[in-house]
Amino acid sequence: MLSIQELSASVGEKPILNGLSLTVPAGEVHAIMGPNGAGKSTLSYVLTGREGYEVTGGTATLDGVNLLSLVPEDRAAKGLFLSFQYPLEIPGVPALTFVRAALNAQRKARSEDELAAPAFLKLAREKAAALKIDFDMLKRPLNVGFSGGEKKRMEILQMAMLEPRFSILDETDSGLDIDALKIVAEGVNALRGPDRGMLVITHYQRLLDYIKPDRVSVLANGRIVATGGPELALELERSGYDRYAA
Amino acid sequence: MAAVKQTVEQVKALESYEHGFVSDIESEFAPKGLSADIVRFISAKKDEPQWMLDWRLEAYERWRSLDEPHWAEVQFPPIDYQDSYYYAAPKTKDGPASLDEVDPDLLAVYAKLGIPLKEQEVLAGVVGAPRYAVDAVFDSVSVVTTFKKELAEVGVIFCSMSEAIREHPDLVRKYLGTVVPTSDNYYACLNAAVFSDGSFVYVPPGVRCPMELSTYFRINAENSGQFERTLIIADKAAYVSYLEGCTAPMRDENQLHAAVVELVLLDDAEIKYSTVQNWYPGDPVTGKGGIYNFVTKRADCRGDRSKVSWTQVETGSAITWKYPSCVLRGEGSSGEFYSIAVTNGRQQADTGTKMIHLGANTKSRIVSKGISAGHSSNTYRGLVSAHPKAIGSRNFTQCDSLLIGKGCAANTIPYVEARNGQSIFEHEATTTRLSEDQLFYARQRGLSQEEAVALLVNGFVREVLQELPMEFAVEAQKLVAISLEGSVG
């Protein structure tokens, strides 16, 4: 599904990713852990095509499609989703309006019919209820004045509505208390399936108690330095990243 | 949501300035230049009574003693007032009496612009759909006014200014120039001397005008200015909603548009005045051509508890210099100003409002949204003042600027004068840049660059769009998106 080979990228003049290779087959939830500054967020931005992140070598494909040659919206239409570490505020645009515009833009790009208002609203109500989001909140401008936890929940709601083939969750646990974390994790788990893949980027083991990864990789100095089963995360929790940092 | 979708589709479907075509309509011109004789010529062309000619000539003499104002944040080369036509009219007999007599070529122009001039076409729509009466002004003259008969049945007079001068001289003499006196400013004075046509509306006491009224202005002729004059009177407890739209062909020279709009409100009257201004903005790269939109608009709330609201969507013109104002004279009267001003390319706008509180317990509200992109400059200039007698007056001003890209400028110049201790004025202002982060966020969700800009900009201007009649809100949203096309990336 997601295949990254020898990927290198820099921000400005500074190399951040140094020949990173990683494969996530369909159906797998893959956790990426690593110390601060290892390149975790850079990886998510390079994959989604943010400006200012220059790819200097290597490849990244999703279902065989070269992601790196596509503009961000085309990557989204191919089913790539990023849950942002710091979700943006969109003044004046109700959350519902935003999500519907996004959903229909993606459907259009895939030559599918647009979702009509009644069907869309039904879907939004269902998904919001599952994430314990008050439906009225979706009528407010997206993320404006929302708490950190509410913003993260809105990210997962968008993910649930857009049903991406491959999701990247960038530090989704930061800013969440334990109750919110459980709700968010349930939302994420509901999206697991044999056709989907996920990259769960986190600094701490805590999130992985609720979203159980199939495999865990350690990212340090811009490359994957170790890969293993869920036990690797527990080990990191005990011994820290020191032995990878050098 | 539907509107967003529509915006997106329209943006794709339309070119950047779709009204830039020139129509080959046979016209008749006054000789180039300005003189007392030209003023006489215009007056004679319109069969005006002596009092009207005298009024014009007096204005002309006054104008000669005035200097062009240069205090606005706009720059332009000197205007040669002798190098322009002050009268251009499509050739017809007298004013057309009915649609059948209107030149088919002219009707074709309006069809191309999407303006319904045939009443049956308007009527052919869905039952219960809102209807609009239209006065179409082509260069210097009004070519047709629709629904006159139906309006007359309830006592509403809606006609061209020329016709009003002939048919309703008492009303015109009573109100013309009482809100914007001839000597008010340089351009208003010029307008008084040479105004060619415009719309006239009178709504009698207690009448709620049964449909939206609109005037559609089109400059077509080369080297000509447009100087229309609009006068709207809402008598006691009358209500009217009025909309004006404007377009012009793409031309390399600058054309002057110096209009005057006067609104008169008696006790308990209400006027909603909306403008969607889309004059040709000039070449986006070189800045060549485009309309100089130097306009004076003012409402006089003479009556107690009268209420006026200006809503403007300004996307066109090379230079905009306009401050729709409210004189809040009547006790408890109120004025509102909602504005979206978009500048892109090399456009310059210096626009805002004046809220002049003269009466006790008067209220005003200003919501201004300025969007600058390209190498444009966008200035909000506003005055809120309270007279010593305006006890208990209140104003709220919200003034937001959005910058797109790095080459543009936004200024906010508020003037506040309170001459009594019992007025409450509030002013809030923000300036933000359309952030790359927000754009990326929207694109990551699947929206294209253009769609993302349209969505974010619509969010920014939403508060004002809500004030427009629904059909025009959609039109305006479309315009804003088109005006900003290609402004990012």
DSSP track, B151-211: HHHTT-EEEEHHHHHHH-HHHHHHHTTSSS-TTS-HHHHHHHHH--B-EEEEE-TT-B-SS
Q: Largest alpha-carbon pair distance within chain A?
A: 56
Quick one: average pLDDT of A162-173? 94
Residue with tokens 């070529």: B105
* Chain B nearest C-alpha distance from A72 (Å): 5
**Average pLDDT value over all residues in chain A:** 93
Instruction: For residue A88, give the nearest of B441, B448, B451 by CB distance.
Output: B441
The span from the CA of B331 to the CA of B345, in Å, is 44
Dump pLDDT digits (tens) for B123-172. Answer: 333 344 445 566 776 665 665 677 778 888 999 999 889 889 999 999 99
C-beta of residue B256 within 8 angstroms of C-beta of residue B224: no
Quick one: average pLDDT of A187-201? 94
CB contacts of A49 in chain B (<8 Å) are 443-444
| Reduced 3-state DSSP string for B417-469 | EECCCCCEEEEEEEEEECCHHHHHHHHHCCCCHHHHHHHHHHHHHHHHHCCCC
**Where residue A47 falls among pLDDT bands split at 50, 70, 90?**
very high
From residue B332, alpha-carbon distances to B269, B382, B470 in Å are: 12, 21, 28
Q: How many CA atoms lie within 13 A of B442 on its CB side?
A: 28
Q: Residue A206's pLDDT is what?
A: 87
From residue A128, alpha-carbon distances to A76, A98, A167, A191 in Å are: 22, 15, 19, 14
Residue B440 and residue A102: Cβ atoms within 8 Å? Answer: no
Instruction: For residue B448, give the nearest of A51, A81, A105 by CB distance.
Output: A105
DSSP letter string, B333-400: -EEEEEEEEEE-TT-EEEEEEEEEE-STT-EEEEEEEEEE-TT-EEEEEEEEEE-TT-TT-EEEEEEE
* C-alpha distance across the termini of chain A, in Å: 31
Helices assigned H by DSSP within B212-293: none
* Sheet with B394-403: strands ordered across: B141-145, B132-138, B212-218, B239-247, B270-277, B307-314, B334-343, B363-372, B394-403, B424-433
Residue A98 and residue B448: Cβ atoms within 8 Å? Answer: no
Quick one: average pLDDT of B186-197? 91
CB contacts of B369 in chain A (<8 Å) are none
From residue B98, alpha-carbon distances to B145, B146, B232, B241, B350 in Å are: 9, 9, 23, 24, 40
**Where residue B322 falls among pLDDT bands split at 50, 70, 90?**
very high
Q: Residue B12's pLDDT is what?
A: 42
> Above 60 in pLDDT, residue B49?
yes
DSSP A207: G
Residue A90 and residue B442: Cβ atoms within 8 Å? Answer: yes
Q: Residue B325's pLDDT is what?
A: 96
* Chain A nearest C-alpha distance from B337 (Å): 19
Closest CA to B192 of B62, B38, B65: B62
Residue A76 and residue B1: Cβ atoms within 8 Å? Answer: no
Closest CA to B264 of B219, B193, B323, B203: B203
When computed from its CA atoms, the radius of gyration of chain A, rounded to whole angstroms, is 18
Handedness of CA A159, A160, A165, A166 (dihedral sign): positive
* Chain B nearest C-alpha distance from A178 (Å): 27
The span from the CA of B160 to the CA of B146, in Å, is 11
Q: Which chain A residue is nearest to residue B432, measuring alpha carbons? A: A91
Q: Residue B98's pLDDT is what?
A: 57
From residue B91, alpha-carbon distances to A3, B85, B87, B102 in Å are: 72, 16, 12, 10
Q: Residue A69's pLDDT is what?
A: 95
Which helix (H) or strand (E) segment holds residue A121: the answer is helix A117-130
> Above 70 in pLDDT, residue A154?
yes
Quick one: average pLDDT of A203-218? 91
Q: Residue B241's pLDDT is what?
A: 92
CB contacts of B481 in chain A (<8 Å) are none
C-beta of residue B29 within 8 angstroms of C-beta of residue B79: no
Residue with tokens 């729509």: B125
3-state secondary structure of B409: strand
Residue B1 and residue A141: Cβ atoms within 8 Å? Answer: no
Dump pLDDT digits (tens) for B457-468. Answer: 888 888 888 887
Q: Residue B126's pLDDT is what?
A: 38
**Alpha carbon A225 to chain centroid, angstroms:** 21
Closest CA to B323 of B413, B455, B239, B390: B413
The conformational region for residue B388 under phi > 0 = left, psi -120 to 50 = alpha, else beta, is: alpha
Quick one: average pLDDT of B450-477? 82
Q: Which chain B residue is nearest to residue A158, measuring alpha carbons? A: B445
Pick the range with the lowest mean pLDDT from B49-63, B78-92, B148-162, B244-258: B244-258
Quick one: average pLDDT of B459-486? 78
B400-433 as b/e: b if 16+ CB within 10 A? bbbbbbeebebebebebebeeeebebeeeeeeee
Instruction: For residue B459, give the nearest of A72, A91, A106 by CB distance.
Output: A91
The predicted complex's ipTM stands at 0.96
Q: Residue B102's pLDDT is what?
A: 62
* Chain B nearest C-alpha distance from A159 (Å): 9
Q: What percent of chain A shows pLDDT beyond 90?
A: 81
3-state secondary structure of A1: coil
The span from the CA of B136 to the CA of B116, in Å, is 10
Q: Residue B65's pLDDT is what?
A: 92
Measured CB to CB, residues of chain A less than 8 Å from chain B are 48-51, 71-73, 75-77, 81-82, 84, 87-93, 96-106, 109, 114, 117, 141, 158, 162
Q: Residue B284's pLDDT is what?
A: 80
> Above 50 in pLDDT, residue B300?
yes
Q: Residue B227's pLDDT is what?
A: 87
Q: Residue A94's pLDDT is what?
A: 94
Phi, psi of B233 (to 5 degrees): -120, 120
Dump pLDDT digits (tens) for A65-124. Answer: 999 999 999 999 999 999 999 999 998 899 999 999 999 999 999 999 999 999 999 999
Angle, CA of A28, A30 and A31, to the nearest 5°: 160
CB contacts of B456 in chain A (<8 Å) are 90, 93
Quick one: average pLDDT of B37-58? 91
Q: Residue A161's pLDDT is what?
A: 95
> Above 90 in pLDDT, residue B486?
no
Residue A105 and residue B463: Cβ atoms within 8 Å? Answer: no
* Chain B nearest C-alpha distance from A241 (Å): 31
Q: How many CB pairs under 8 A join A and B?
A: 92
The span from the CA of B376 to the CA of B343, in Å, is 6
CB contacts of A72 in chain B (<8 Å) are 440, 443-444
* Chain A nearest C-alpha distance from B108 (Å): 35
Instruction: For residue B460, give the nearest of A81, A91, A158 by CB distance.
Output: A91
Residue with tokens 């120039």: B177
Residue A93 and residue B443: Cβ atoms within 8 Å? Answer: no
* Chain A nearest C-alpha distance from B434 (Å): 10
CB contacts of B460 in chain A (<8 Å) are 91-92
Question: Hey, of B444, B447, B458, which one would you mutate to test binding to chain A, going by the most A CBs within 10 A of its CB?
Answer: B444
The span from the CA of A154 to the CA of A133, in Å, is 8
Residue A50 and residue B446: Cβ atoms within 8 Å? Answer: no
* Chain A nearest C-alpha distance from B456 (Å): 7
Residue B4 and residue A97: Cβ atoms within 8 Å? Answer: yes
C-beta of residue A78 within 8 angstroms of C-beta of residue A64: no
The span from the CA of A65 to the CA of A77, in Å, is 12
A107 burial type by CB count under 10 A (0-12 exposed, 13-18 middle, 19+ buried): middle
Q: Residue B79's pLDDT is what?
A: 84
Q: Residue B188's pLDDT is what?
A: 93
B324 versus B75: the higher-pLDDT residue is B324
CB contacts of B448 in chain A (<8 Å) are 71, 73, 105
Closest CA to B339 of B305, B379, B375, B385: B379
Question: Hey, of A78, A93, A100, which one would you mutate to test binding to chain B, going by the most B CBs within 10 A of its CB?
Answer: A93
**Interacting residues of B363 by C-beta distance below 8 A, sequence separation 6+:** B328, B332, B333, B334, B335, B393, B394, B395
Instruction: For residue B459, give the nearest of A49, A87, A93 by CB distance.
Output: A93
B19 versus B294: the higher-pLDDT residue is B294
Q: Residue A237's pLDDT is what?
A: 83
Q: Residue B299's pLDDT is what?
A: 97
For residue A55, count other CB atoms closer than 10 A to its CB. 17
**Average pLDDT value over all residues in chain B:** 83
Q: Residue B436's pLDDT is what?
A: 87
Instruction: For residue A48, give the nearest of B436, B442, B444 by CB distance.
Output: B444
CB contacts of B445 in chain A (<8 Å) are 76, 98-99, 102, 105-106, 158, 162
Report the relative pairing of strands B27-29 and A29-33 from DSSP bridges: unpaired
> Above 60 in pLDDT, residue B5?
no
Residue A77 and residue B446: Cβ atoms within 8 Å? Answer: yes
C-beta of residue B9 within 8 angstroms of C-beta of residue B87: no
Quick one: average pLDDT of B318-340? 94
Quick one: average pLDDT of A212-234? 93
Residue with tokens 């990557």: A75
Q: Residue A144's pLDDT is what?
A: 92
